[in-house]
């Protein structure tokens, strides 16, 4: 009884919260908000005194389900065929997507990579005339013209980076497969000894999200083992610093990459090219500005021992390789769009992240059940379902077995569908979802709506019997008061988390919450 009344009252506040939230998010994105001392409900916020005092968001407990490969017995480690991705894996996936996002921004904004790739600002000027009061006559002066193409040309650097990354991936995947063949491992799933460099990881990640293509590729190149490797979530989680959204390859993995001729950090490698007094950089810079950029970046790569297997590669061969990499590059670029979406949602840094991810996984299970109920149909995932689905696909073998068990067929992932097709299919999926499970298929998943939903769920589970008489019933006035307090508490929590995020982006000390002595 009180649950219904509660839902009704809090529902009225949700819309207001959602609207306030949107405004606060915009101000975070513009980096305008600074953490300030803020007092509410007996707590005060102040900047942390040192790193130790700072809050850790996301909380480490979110990753508790991750298991390092050495902790499992490989012979018997094959999980149940219908195992779903875990909260820890989905959370690490978000961490990784934020790292990819930050890397792309860093590449685009890097002045060093401008130099490496020969992207220069056009500094043309025109002569203009102005009247000088001091000398009582007109004079000519040079007026600089803005370079309208500069921004767009800087963005192209990401594609240039990917051209090199795709070539490096092709080298890595062969070696990784060969190493897996040499290692004596059980009959169960295999595990990678070392993480690949970040750029290679990014290409591999995007390739895995095209399951059929990846399977075909492995067959064509006789790579029999790499598909059996579960995505190395625990290793990736250890390599990521979420405070800065950066990825640090462990020392042994970096040494291993180095020993096979792959520079462990492609960004650093390309930045060094701009500094080195070699003949390569000027040549590259000159040619990059012209047409055949692809072949030239590869040329640099080969010249610098990036792929020692083909030291005497000619430009023609390099161009052929570049063409075969085009699909790999397009995969990553499509995934960058998904990383943008996840960055905009920023679930990982929200107070309700555990709820959002747990629900995403159970809704993904429902999504797979819909495939079984609607054979031969195209179904489109909601955004949260999509994250769980992607996370599942990244462990190629397990995904194949998992969807066959749950959906009754193999489901390929086609992220190349047109907007029109997608919209129709999404509406149909939402209808089927409603009929089967009775819920909203694509609800708003913003921080505010999720935080309110979490409170409602806790309440529905009877965790909030405030008047202590055991039945959870309050009279009308008490109920109104209680709802007011709940909404205040949710709002306070959201405001605090947003302040932490604003401070993180502004590279300031994060705010801490302190109880004010009564
Ligand atoms: Zn919302």
User: Cα(26) to centroid of ligand 1, in Å?
Assistant: 14
The whole-model pTM stands at: 0.84
What lies within 8 Å, CB to CB, of 120 at 6+ separation is 114, 285, 289
In the numeric block, the tokens 């405070």 are attached to 243
pLDDT computed for residue 345 by the predictor: 93
Pair (146, 162) in one structural domain: no
Q: Which pair of structure tokens corresponds to residue 482? A: 């209680």
Q: Flag whether 217 is in a domain.
A: yes
Read off the DSSP letter of residue 212.
Answer: H
Pair (182, 324) in one structural domain: yes
Quote the number of domains for the chain: 2
User: Cα(464) to centroid of ligand 1, in Å?
Assistant: 24
Q: Flag whether 403 is in a domain.
A: no
Query: Which residues is 378 bridged to in the sheet?
Result: none
User: Cα(19) to centroid of ligand 1, in Å?
Assistant: 8
Q: Say whether pLDDT at 29 is over 70.
A: no
User: Cα(440) to centroid of ligand 1, in Å?
Assistant: 13
- Give percent of the chain above pLDDT 90: 47
Q: Flag whether 302 is in a domain.
A: yes
Q: Flag whether 167 is in a domain.
A: yes
User: Cα(423) to centroid of ligand 1, in Å?
Assistant: 21
Give the residue numbers spanning the domain of 176. 93-116+156-347
Q: For the segment 286-342, what is each residue's pLDDT rounded down to a tens digit?
A: 554 444 445 555 555 544 444 433 334 455 555 556 666 888 999 999 999 999 999
Pair (217, 261) in one structural domain: yes
Pair (254, 125) in one structural domain: no
Contact between 451 and 384 under an 8 Å Cβ cutoff? The reply is no
Residue 382 CA from chain centroid, whole number: 17
Q: For the segment 101-143, what is each residue's pLDDT rounded down to a tens digit?
A: 999 999 999 999 988 887 888 888 888 988 888 888 888 888 8
pLDDT computed for residue 310 by the predictor: 37
pLDDT computed for residue 331 by the predictor: 92
User: Cα(446) to centroid of ligand 1, in Å?
Assistant: 4
Domain boundary among 298, 319, 347: 347
User: Cα(438) to centroid of ligand 1, in Å?
Assistant: 20
- Predicted confidence band at 460 (pLDDT cuts at 50, 70, 90)? confident
Pair (272, 216) in one structural domain: yes
User: Cα(73) to centroid of ligand 1, in Å?
Assistant: 44
User: Cα(313) to centroid of ligand 1, in Å?
Assistant: 54
Query: Which residues is 247 bridged to in the sheet?
Result: 240
User: Cα(88) to centroid of ligand 1, in Å?
Assistant: 24
Q: Flag whether 177 is in a domain.
A: yes
Pair (129, 195) in one structural domain: no
What lies within 8 Å, CB to CB, of 225 at 6+ separation is 177, 180, 181, 190
Domain boundary among 300, 331, 347: 347
**Among 442, 374, 444, CA closest to 411:** 374
User: Cα(453) to centroid of ligand 1, in Å?
Assistant: 10
Question: What residues are neighbours of ligand 1 (ion), with CB under 5 Å?
Answer: 18, 444, 446, 449
Q: For the segment 163-204, what is each residue's pLDDT rounded down to a tens digit?
A: 889 988 998 999 999 989 887 665 556 788 899 999 999 999
Judged by DSSP in three states, 189 sits in: coil
Contact between 154 and 202 under an 8 Å Cβ cutoff? The reply is no
User: Cα(461) to centroid of ligand 1, in Å?
Assistant: 22
**How far are the Cα atoms of 229, 499, 502 from residue 35, in angstroms, in the given order?**
44, 6, 7
User: Cα(36) to centroid of ligand 1, in Å?
Assistant: 25
User: Cα(55) to centroid of ligand 1, in Å?
Assistant: 25
Q: Say whether pLDDT at 505 is over 60.
A: yes
* DSSP assignments along 397-447, one per residue: HHHHHHHHHHHSS-----TT--HHHHHHHHHHHHHHHHHHH-S-SS----H
Pair (161, 266) in one structural domain: yes
User: Cα(494) to centroid of ligand 1, in Å?
Assistant: 12
């Amino acid at each position: 009884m009180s649950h219904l009344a509660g839902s009704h009252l809090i529902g009225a506040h949700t819309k207001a919260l959602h609207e306030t939230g949107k405004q606060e998010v915009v101000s975070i994105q513009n980096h305008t908000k600074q953490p300030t001392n803020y007092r509410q409900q007996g707590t005060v916020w102040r900047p942390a005194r040192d790193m130790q005092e700072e809050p850790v968001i996301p909380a480490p407990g979110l990753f508790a389900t991750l298991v390092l490969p050495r902790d499992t017995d490989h012979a018997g480690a094959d999980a149940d065929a219908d195992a779903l991705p875990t909260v820890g894996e989905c959370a690490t996936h978000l961490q990784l997507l934020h790292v990819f996002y930050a890397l792309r921004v860093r590449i685009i904004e890097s002045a060093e990579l401008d130099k490496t790739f020969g992207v220069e600002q056009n500094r043309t000027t025109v002569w203009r005339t102005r009247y000088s009061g001091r000398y009582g006559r007109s004079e000519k002066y040079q007026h600089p013209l803005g370079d309208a193409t500069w921004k767009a040309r800087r963005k192209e650097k990401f594609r240039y980076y990917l051209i090199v990354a795709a070539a490096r991936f092709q080298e890595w995947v062969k070696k990784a497969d060969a190493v897996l063949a040499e290692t004596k491992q059980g009959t169960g799933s295999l595990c990678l000894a070392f993480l690949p460099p970040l750029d290679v990881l990014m290409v591999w990640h995007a390739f895995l999200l095209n399951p059929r293509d990846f399977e075909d590729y492995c067959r064509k190149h006789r790579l029999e083992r790499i598909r059996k490797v579960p995505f190395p979530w625990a290793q990736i989680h250890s390599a990521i610093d979420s405070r800065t959204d950066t990825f640090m390859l462990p020392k042994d993995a970096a040494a291993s990459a180095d020993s096979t001729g792959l520079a462990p950090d492609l960004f650093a490698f390309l930045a060094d090219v701009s500094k080195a007094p070699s003949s390569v950089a000027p040549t590259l810079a000159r040619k990059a500005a012209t047409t055949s950029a692809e072949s030239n970046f590869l040329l640099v790569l080969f010249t610098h021992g990036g792929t020692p297997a083909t030291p005497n590669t000619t430009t023609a061969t390099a161009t052929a390789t570049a063409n075969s990499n085009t699909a790999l590059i397009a995969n990553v670029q499509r995934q960058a769009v998904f990383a943008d979406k996840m960055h905009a949602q920023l679930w990982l840094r929200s107070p309700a992240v555990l709820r959002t991810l747990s629900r995403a996984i159970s809704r993904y299970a429902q999504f797979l059940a819909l495939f079984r109920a609607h054979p031969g149909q195209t179904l489109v995932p909601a955004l949260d379902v999509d994250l769980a689905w992607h996370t599942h696909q990244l462990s190629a073998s397990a995904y194949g077995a998992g969807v066959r068990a749950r959906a009754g067929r193999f489901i390929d992932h086609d992220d190349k569908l047109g907007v029109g097709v997608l919209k129709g299919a999404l509406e149909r999926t939402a209808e089927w979802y409603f009929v089967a499970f009775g819920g909203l298929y694509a609800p708003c998943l913003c921080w505010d709506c999720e935080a309110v939903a979490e409170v409602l769920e806790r309440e529905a589970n009877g965790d909030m019997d405030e008047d202590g008489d055991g039945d959870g019933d309050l009279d009308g006035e008490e109920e109104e008061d209680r709802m007011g307090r709940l909404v205040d508490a949710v709002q306070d929590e959201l405001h605090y988390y947003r302040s932490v995020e604003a401070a993180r982006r502004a590279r300031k000390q994060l705010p801490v919450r302190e109880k004010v002595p009564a």
